[in-house]
Amino acid sequence: MHDTKPATQPDQDEEVLEVKKFLSTITIVGAAALVLSGCTGPGAGAGAGDDELITVGFAQTGSESGWRSANTESMQTAFSEENGFKLVFNAADNKIEAQIAAVRGFITQGVDAIVIAPIVEDGWDDVLQEAKDAGIPVILEDRTLTADESLYAGWVGLDFKSEGVKAGTWAASTFTEPTNMVVLEGTTGSAPANDRAEGFDEAIAGSQITKIDSQTGNFTRAEGKTVMEGFLQKYGKDGIDLVYAHNDDMALGAIDAIEAAGLVPGEDIKIVSIDAVKDGMQALADGKINYIVECNPLLGELAAGLVKDVLDGKTIERATFVQDGEFDQEAAIAALPDRKY
């Protein structure tokens, strides 16, 4: 008897060969598909990367006031993923060294753009040059600095000197008898503190107002209260007629100190402030503050627009100003129901 296997072997060999050809065809098709998908993937071809987020590092000053909190919220909303951004946020707690270190961190991370609200005006040249060398554009938000303009693309914010002029103009026209004034200054060396002081002083020049003292409260309610307590101890209850506060939070601190001293804020001691945040506006509506010049914190949308324009290679304005309003008690009462900050 003969084994039947040799008779069937050729058919099996043909089957194996056909399977190998089939598998080889699948491999070739799969490889071709991978090549094609690689050609149309991120970084290749027209429109590639359209779905990628723009990474932006934002160096905020801190969280020293209600204005700053509203400003931060505005920036976080504008630079959201829904709007095409990935925001890397850092609040430096009003420490300039920490803020500069944060910007250097953004450069190391290789972000697409950097936005800075400078704590102070000076000391930025080196780190801005590092950003420029790395090809990372910088936008300034809220505050300005003294570095060469070639080191940053542009700025968006408020006219701080004009705010000081408006506050001073109201004071000069309101106080027509000899008036002793104390000043609660913002953070020493910051643009708003410098400019609001200069504008106010220009506006009251030749008026009946005499500045008897001035000290920084660092834009905070707690320090504003402490400084005002010192002024009251130094000059007595009858020695101060007017307080000029560089922001609402310090004005609110001054109110606490005035009330603790048994005086009536807005009557025994008048107060003029800058910001127009809700707490300040409520104090104005209640008669505890007498006049407020607005400083709009909602800068996020404008800042985000500038970042996109710069990255698209468009030329932007060196300075983009946001308009401010002014409020007396009646205007504050009318504005409060719809106030966004």
Which pLDDT belongs to residue 48? 31
The domain ranges of the chain are: 54-158+298-323, 160-295
pLDDT at 36 over 70: no
pLDDT at 19 over 50: no
Per-residue pLDDT tens over the stretch 48-99: 344 699 999 999 999 989 899 999 999 999 999 999 999 999 999 999 999 9
Q: Under the phi-then-psi rule, with left for phi > 0, alpha for psi from -120 to 50, and beta for the rest, what region is 43?
A: left
Which pLDDT belongs to residue 51? 60
pLDDT at 46 over 90: no
Per-residue pLDDT tens over the stretch 149-184: 999 999 999 999 999 999 999 999 999 999 999 999
Instruction: Please state, for a pLDDT cut of 70, what percent of the chain lies above it.
Output: 85
Which pLDDT belongs to residue 340? 83
Per-residue pLDDT tens over the stretch 201-244: 999 999 999 999 999 999 999 999 999 999 999 999 999 999 99
Instruction: Determine the angle formed by the axes of helices 160-174 and 191-204, rounding to 10 degrees.
Output: 30
Which pLDDT belongs to residue 15? 40
CB 241 within 8 A of CB 175: yes
Average pLDDT for residues 268-279, to the nearest whole number? 97
Per-residue pLDDT tens over the stretch 255-265: 999 999 999 99
Average pLDDT for residues 12-41, to the nearest whole number? 37
CB 71 within 8 A of CB 297: yes
Which pLDDT belongs to residue 293? 98
**pLDDT grade, residue 25 (50/70/90)?**
very low
Tell me how many helices (H) and strands (E) the chain has. Answer: 11, 12
* Strand 326-327 to 291-294 pairing: antiparallel
Fold of 54-158+298-323: Rossmann fold (3.40.50)
* Strand 179-185 to 242-245 pairing: parallel
Which pLDDT belongs to residue 3? 38
**pLDDT grade, residue 303 (50/70/90)?**
very high
**pLDDT grade, residue 315 (50/70/90)?**
very high
Task: Provide the H-helix boundaries in the chain.
Answer: 5-39, 66-78, 96-109, 125-133, 160-174, 191-204, 221-235, 248-260, 278-285, 300-311, 329-335
Question: Would 54-158+298-323 and 160-295 be classified into the same CATH topology?
Answer: yes
Fold of 160-295: Rossmann fold (3.40.50)
pLDDT at 11 over 70: no
- Mean pLDDT of all residues in the chain? 88
Per-residue pLDDT tens over the stretch 52-63: 999 999 999 999
Distance CA(166)–CA(177), nearest Å, equals 20
